[in-house]
Structure 1
Amino acid sequence: MALIAIFLTALNLRAAVTALPPLVPRIQESLGVGGTLIGVLGMIPTAMFALSAFSTPLMLRRLTLHSALILAMLLTAAGQVLRVLGPSFALLVVGSILALFAVGATNALMPIVVRTHFPNRVPALSTTYMVAMQIGMSVAPLFAEPLAVRTNWQISLASWAALGMVAALAWVPLWRRRPAASPVPAAGSSRRRLAVWRTSAGVGMAVMFGCTSLTTYSLMIFIPRIYVDAGAPVQFGALMLAWWSALGLLLAFIGPWFVARFDDPFPIVAGFGALFIVGNVGMAWDAMSAPWVWITLSAVGPCSFPMALTLINFRARTVDGATALSAFGQGAGYTMACVGPLGFGLLYDYTDSWMPPTIFTSIALLCMIAGSWFCTRNVHVEDQLSQIVAKPVEAELVGR
């Protein structure tokens, strides 16, 4: 039952985000908003993911793991309905904030629930939920525009709330159950263990998450527009986003495998980052010169994201360590990523060219490669924290 619930929950992790970009032209026409405000809408996912990730440890002190997941899925559904209740950009923003805060909390909870229910099958279960996440991410943009044509953009956007309701129901049989072999982190967990921001692996994880997400969410909101500006019809722009998302389905299989197979997968992360840059520059230079080539190269790059999610459990020895690393890595990382969609939109509005925002994301990807060097090494945050605590003691003994 836990496996089914994990799969259904993961379907919700990106559908609420990717269902919106193909509808941007309709939303702009309906609500009269420009590129900068769409950029603000695009930064909501990363802002909410950051805020909710930091809130996860506190949430788990007040709720059981299963209760937290049920609540998150119900709020995801409610937010998606709220954002289309009226022809109002304010309601669209408020509903998106609610839905994506709940999705962000689920982002941080997923590595913990995998570690809790399947401690000996982390790579396989990480692959399972990331595949489900990519399915939701791919299907939503593919059907968003056709559904809007048959109805309107509000119904198209709100229809994905059904996924949240189904996922919430899937957790009900497990409600208030706690697997004996691997308990949910308690309020009394060691504070020293939770200080992962003092470790190179923790900081590297945050940079890897942040810079990958900065680029990914910038493109997620603007890929259809890039192709439309290059002369393609709106449907082709939506198809490119769906293809870009669908390739992530394959990467969701291979990313965790790379982490499990290699003690130090840094060269692989660096290679994905380089392909990401090449694909993005190609799209900005002339998207329609080789549309399938550029979008495919760009789509390979975000493989660093499922690798980072899997690394959370490989760089922690305990559930407490995984909880702290997930909260800090995703919280700090998504905080960095907030500037992505807004900066991308502003640079385009001021220059009327896609190349300056692409240079901006290319710099971020170079930082991602640098940060990943620290968290791809075969280290554990608990060990690094022990060494940090031991150093002052050693210095004091030497002084005596």
Structure 2
Amino acid sequence: MYRESLIGRITLIAGIVFIALSLRSPLAAVGPLANAIQQSTALSHGAVGMITTLPLLCFGFLSMLTPLFTRRWGIEGALGMSLGLITIGIAVRSLVPVAALFGGTLLLGVGIALGNVLLPSLVKRDFPHRKGWMTSLYSSLMGLGAAIAAGVSVPIAEDLGLGWRYALGIWAVIAVIGIIFWIPQLKHHTRPDRSVRIRKSLKTLGRSRLAWEISLFMGLQSFLFYVVLAWLPEILISQGMNPNEAGWMLSLSQAFGVLGTIILPVYAEKRPDQRGIVWGVCLMELVSIAGFLIPGTTFVPLWAVLIGFSLGCSFGLALLFMVMRTWDSETTTGLSGMSQSVGYLVAAAGPALFGALHDWFDSWSPPLILLLVVAALQLLFGLGAGQDKTISAGSGGEDSQ
């Protein structure tokens, strides 16, 4: 249900806004700065890919444990902890030692993992009649944060002469503002219904084919998203673009991703079956990935728009599946944790594997072909997740129409 007063509702939504902006901007800032980080630290492509992979490993291993945090500190307290860890992690990774780069990344990964899982639960609980709109709002803001970070990181580092460390560290400001807006929410300290047992819920979800299809759709979508986030500028630089232009192409793709996450959940919520939408979204992904295999930069803006829009649509769709395919907020938390845990463990292989394949073949073509295979598999699992079925924690793992 909504907070009681107008001010309460405004601060709740403002808090959600800044949490969402904080969940992708620290990650999107890395890709455009990858070349500068390599030159400064002498890290390999695979090692730089690990800067994006580490948070994904956190997402994968911690997502299933999020209900333990909510039982102790409540949804509000766990989200406050999320913002605190993101702030500290960003600050630490901006320090000089290379070890701090990875250690800080690990901390902010833990914080983002909590936010990833709990925002769908918060929307399910507090906005039951506006879940499509609220999913569009926060998922599009995640994309907006990524778009801004991707576009301005190189100018901050090079044009302003502040260096890549400052360009990574500035995103802590958004998380700090989020903490200020979130402080009033901490007094609510709402815990989930203790009658729902975590082990039983996860066991039930583990027997659900639908839950696994949603999880794998989420994972393969995230695999593609984080590879694009980490490596698109480097691919474009190898095709003749300068780093600033390449960073703005990533920003362009992220901006159209925002458009996709705004439009698609609201549209898809009105349809009980989303399989036709899955077909359209995944075909756009396949076409755009194939486009990056074409030499030259003439059509790069088109491919950037298509890959950004389609990945934004598929991300919004994955989040909406978590809300639409469950009966209550507790089950949504369980499904969100499962799908993001399984999904991000799949996605974690993406950036480092993509970079390692480039090091191995000295070409971007084999890694891009791998992305075509991943997009085809995403289509397969998306067709299952898009069916008009529902799973409840008390259903014994059986999916019902």
TM-score normalised per structure 2: 0.92
Matched, 1:81 2:91: yes
Paired residue for 1:333?
343
Contact 1:285 1:355 (C-alpha < 8 Å) held by counterparts:
no
Give the structure 1 partner of residue 68 of structure 2: 58
User: How far apart are the structure 2 equivalents of 1:68 and 1:386?
Assistant: 29
- Residue 189 (str. 1) matches residue 196 (str. 2): yes
**Aligned partner of residue 186 in structure 1, secondary structure:** coil
* Equivalences, count: 385
Q: Which moved further from structure 2: 276-285 or 325-334?
A: 276-285
Percent identical pairs in the alignment equals 25
Larger Rg: 1
Q: 1:273-306: CA deviations, max 9, x gaps?
A: 1111211121133251311122122222211111
For structure 1, which segment, 381-390 or 66-75, has the greater mean C-alpha deviation from structure 2 after superposition? Answer: 381-390
How far apart, in 1, do the equivalents of 2:15 and 2:388 lie?
31
SS in 2 for 1:338: helix
1:354-373 matches, cutoff 5 A: 354-373=364-383
Which runs of no fewer than 5 residues in structure 1 stay unpaired? Answer: 391-400
1:169 equivalent in structure 2: 180
Determine the structure 2 residue equivalent to 1:107: 116
What's the counterpart of residue 164 of structure 2? Answer: 153
1:123-272 counterparts in 2 under 5 A?
123-149=132-158, 150=160, 151-177=162-188, 184-190=191-197, 191-194=199-202, 195-272=204-281
Which residue number corresponds to residue 346 of structure 1? Answer: 356
Q: Could you tell me whether the CA contact under 8 Å between 2:220 and 2:343 is conserved in 1?
A: yes
Residue aligned with 2:175, SS:
helix
- In structure 1, the residue matched to 2:6 is none
1:233 deviates by 0.6
Q: Could you list the per-position Cα deviations for residues 350-389 of structure 1 after superposition, in whole angstroms to 9, with x for gaps in the alignment?
A: 1112111111111111111111122211111118934649
Flag the 1:10–1:383 CA change in 2: closer, same or farther, 3 A: closer
- 1:116 alignment counterpart: 125
Alpha-carbon distance in 1 for matches of 2:385, 2:186? 34
> 1:184: Cα distance to partner?
3.9
Partner of 1:290: 299
Match of 1:21 in 2: 31
Q: 1:376 is aligned with what amino acid?
A: G
Q: Which residue is 1:397 aligned to? A: none
Q: Distance in 1 between matches of 2:276 and 2:322?
A: 18
SS of 1:264 mapped into structure 2: coil
- The amino acid across from 2:260 in the alignment is L
Could you say if the C-alpha distance between residues 153 and 199 of structure 1 is closer, same or farther in structure 2, counting changes exceeding 3 Å?
same
Of stretches 265-274 and 308-317 in structure 1, the one that deviates more from structure 2 is 265-274
TM, length-normalised to structure 1 = 0.92
Asked if 2 retains the 8 angstrom alpha-carbon contact of 1:214 and 1:339, the reply is yes
Report the equivalent of 1:96. 105
Moved more, 130-139 or 70-79: 130-139
> How far does residue 78 in structure 1 lie from its aligned partner after superposition?
0.5
